[in-house]
Amino acid sequence: MSVEHILGEKGRDVVTISPEQTIGDVADMLSRHRIGAIVVTGEDGGVLGIVSERDVVRAVADGGGAALQQPVGERMTRRVVTCGLAAGIDEIMGLMTNGKFRHVPVVEGGRLGGIVSIGDVVKHRLAEVEAEHQAMRDYIATA
């Protein structure tokens, strides 16, 4: 199963933020949208970084409540690992496991075109496993 298939089901909307906004804005948006990470984009829509709930926790642990006024650009991860539409679930699981993160933005032709979370990966992998088991049960029943 490919990233294109996953996005076909969940949609291509991505919540984004600019680097000048604050960590407080990140906390507010994560809570309001019920998500775990936000992609940081520039005025041209290009990906500048990613900021997740873990970055908010680290910022508050380092600086207390004052950290909520810190610009996103000072806390985001700049080297973002992305994937294309043709990437498979196994490849995404490998990226997440090796990089120790739970979100992979999808970039096609230099443009942000979706995001895959660990929740999406688990959901579709479980569906694949269930389909494989059902095919096996059907095969055994007709053998």
Positions in the binding site for ligand AMP (CB under 6 A): 36-37, 50-55, 77, 80-81, 99, 101-104
Length of the chain: 143
CB 1, min distance to ligand AMP, A: 19
Measured CA to CA, the distance from residue 121 to residue 17 in angstroms comes to 24
H/E stretch holding 105 reads strand 103-108
Measured CA to CA, the distance from residue 41 to residue 18 in angstroms comes to 6
The DSSP 8-state label assigned to residue 65 in this structure reads: G
Nearer to ligand AMP, 1 or 81 (CB): 81
CB 65, min distance to ligand AMP, A: 20
Nearer to ligand AMP, 94 or 137 (CB): 94
Nearer to ligand AMP, 122 or 135 (CB): 122
Nearer to ligand AMP, 8 or 119 (CB): 119
CB 95, min distance to ligand AMP, A: 7
Nearer to ligand AMP, 42 or 133 (CB): 42
Measured CA to CA, the distance from residue 110 to residue 116 in angstroms comes to 17
CB 6, min distance to ligand AMP, A: 15
- Tokens linked to 125: 């992998």
Residue type, 76: M
Angle among Cα 125, 132, 106 to the nearest 5 degrees reads 25
CB 99, min distance to ligand AMP, A: 6
